[in-house]
Amino acid sequence: MDAETLIVGCKYGDVRGYRDGSVYTWKGVPYAAPTSGDLRFRAPEPPEPWTDVLDARRFGPIAPQGRNNPIPIDPGLTIGEDCLSLNIWAPEPDGEPRPVMVWIHGGAYVLGYSGQRIYDGRLLAERGDVVVVTVNYRLGALGFLDFSSLSTAGTTFESNVGLRDQIAALEWVRDCISAFGGDPDRVTVFGESSGGGSLTTLMTVPRAEGLFHRAIAQSPPATSAYGSERAARVAERFLEILDLTPARVWALRDMPHETLTDAGDVLVGEIPTKFPGTLAMAPVVDRDLVPKYPVAAFQKGLAHRIPLIIGSNKDEPSIFRFMKSPLMPVSDASVQAMLDALAEDHPELPPDRIAEIISAYPDVTKTSGAMALSRDAGFRMPVVWIADAHSAHSPTWVYRFDHATPMLKAARIGAGHATELPYVFGNFGTLDRDPTFWLGGRKAATTISGRIQRRWLAFAHHGVPAALDGSRHWAPYDTDKRMTLLIDNTDTLVPDPDKVLREVWGDQVMGFS
C-alpha cells in the first residue's frame, strides 16, 4: 500500500480507498445484495462477504431510471439493477471517531444517483472533519411503486422497498462506519427534495429509530405520501401500460429493467397531469413499515425525538416551470385542479375553507400567484406544520433559502428548487454548461456557501447549527416566535415570516390520519 491508497477492513471484507485531496474516498461499496431476480420488489438482503480486497475506485451502477432524464449521467457511469452501494469520504482514520453525514439524494423518487458531481463529499469532509456518505437506492417502479396488493401465493411483493434500501444503508453505517473513522452514535442524515421527503418519512418509521441522531430536511415534499388504496390503483395502471393482467403480475420479475422504467416514465408524466400536485411514485402508508402519514405522525408527536433543521427555497416551483415539468402545478388551471382534488379527497373540508385559501393569493389566475400557491401547498406549509409539531419536544431550526445569482434572477428562476445544493456541498460548476455565474455573483455565492456549510457541519458535530464565525445566531424555532433564518447575501432571522399565509392554511388542510 502507498500513501495514495488506504485499505480498511469492515464487516464484509477489506475495501481499498483512494486519496482525494486531503481525505480518502471509497466508492461503490455494496451495502446490500443485488436486487435482481427473486429479490426484485423485495426488501434488501445483506451483502455477501468478500475475500479479496474490494477495489473502491469507481462509483457503482446507478439505479435504473427514465431515458428522458433531466439529470445528466456523468461519463463512465452505468445504469444497472445491482445499484445498492454507497460512497464514503473521510479523513484518514486516527482512532478519534468523527461525526457522520449521510446524504439521501432527491429526484422525485424516480431520478438521481449518489455519484452526481454536485454531491461529491470531499469538501465537506475536509472542511468539517466529518465522514460523508452518499447512498444509492432503488427508484421509480423498482423502488416506489407498491405492488403488494397484487401479491399471490407464488409471488410476493413488498412495499416501500426504496425506503427499505435507505434503512439498510443506515444499518450498514451503524455496523461498519467506525472502520472508516466515523462515529455510529453521531449520524446526521440530510437530504433534499424526495431525499428530504424520505427523511421526514423515516423520522416516523419505527424501524429507523436510533439509526440516525440528527436530521436536515431540505425542501421535503412531506405530504407526498399516499395510502394503500391509491397505491394499488397506480400499480394496476402500471400493469395496463405494460398490457399485463393482475393474473400475470409475476411477469414483472422477469422483464428487463428498461421496460419497467419506460412504463414508469409514462406514469410519471400521466399522474401529475391528471391529478396536479401529486407524484406517481412516493412512499406509501402501508401500516407496516410506514404506519401513518408522516405529517400526521409529526402532529401526533410520533416522530423520532432528534434535533431537526428543516426548510425550503423562496421560489421552489420556478425550476419546474422552466423545465416544463408536470411535477408541480404552475398554471392557474392546474392549481385549481389540485384544490378541487383536495376538496374531493377531504369532504370534511368545507368549500369556504378552500375559497379562503384561494383568496389569500390575489394573483392566483396569473402564473405568479398560481406558483406561490403551489409552492406553499407543496413545500412551505408542510415545513411549517412539521416544525410546529416537532419543536414541541425536540430542538428544531427553520430556514428559507432566498439567495439567487444575477443570472438566476434574470432567468426568473430565483431561489428555485434545488438551487441550494451547490452551496451545501461547495461544488459549483458541476454542470457541463452551467449558466449560474454568467452575470457574476460567484464571490457572494462562495461566502454564503461557507456560512451554510459551517452551520450544517456544526449541527453534525454538536446538534446545534452555530456557525462560530460571527454569523448571526440562529435561534431555535418554537410556536411562540417561529424564528426563521432567511439565507441570502446577509442572513436575517425573522419571526414568523409566513404568518398571514400560515393562519389562512391552518394546520389541518393537508393533514391525514
Catalytic center residues: 193, 316, 417
Q: Which of 141, 361, 144 is nearest to 265 (CA)?
A: 141
Instruction: Please give the Cα distance from 200 to 400 (Å, whole number).
Output: 17
Q: Which residues of 320-355 are buried (b: 16+ CB within 10 A; e: fewer)?
A: bbeeebbbbbbbbebbbbbbeebeeeeeebeeebbe
> Would you state the cell numbers that stand for residue 114, as one nine-digit string?
449518489
Residue type, 208: A
Name every residue whose Cβ is closer than 8 Å to that of residue 231 and which is 6 or more positions away in sequence.
145, 146, 149, 159, 284, 286
Q: Are 295 and 512 in contact (CB under 8 A)?
A: yes
User: Which three cell numbers, joined as nine digits, stand for 85?
Assistant: 452501494
Amino acid in the structure at residue 473:
H
Instruction: Write the burial class of residue 75 (CB in 10 Å: 0-12 exposed, 13-18 middle, 19+ buried).
Output: exposed
Grid coordinates of 215: 436530521
Q: In the 8-state DSSP scheme, what is residue 72?
A: P
Answer for the pair 127, 91: CB distance below 8 angstroms, yes or no. Answer: no
Residue 277 and residue 279: Cα distance in Å, rounded?
A: 7
Q: Is-contact 89 6, C-beta < 8 A?
A: no
What is the DSSP pairing of strand 98-104 with strand 131-135? parallel
424526495: which residue's cell? 194
464 vs 394: CA distance, rounded Å: 12
What would the 3-class secondary structure string for 149-161 be? HHCCCCCCCCCCH
Spatial CB neighbours of 368, under 8 Å, sequence gap ≥ 6? none
Q: Is the dihedral of CA 452, 224, 292, 496 positive or negative?
A: positive
Classify strands 182-192 and 98-104 as parallel, antiparallel or unpaired.
Answer: parallel
**Spatial distance between the Cα atoms of 344 and 266, rounded to a whole number of angstroms:** 25
- CA angle (279 as vertex; 276, 281 as ends), nearest 5: 155
Among 273, 279, 286, 285, smallest CA distance to 106 is for 279
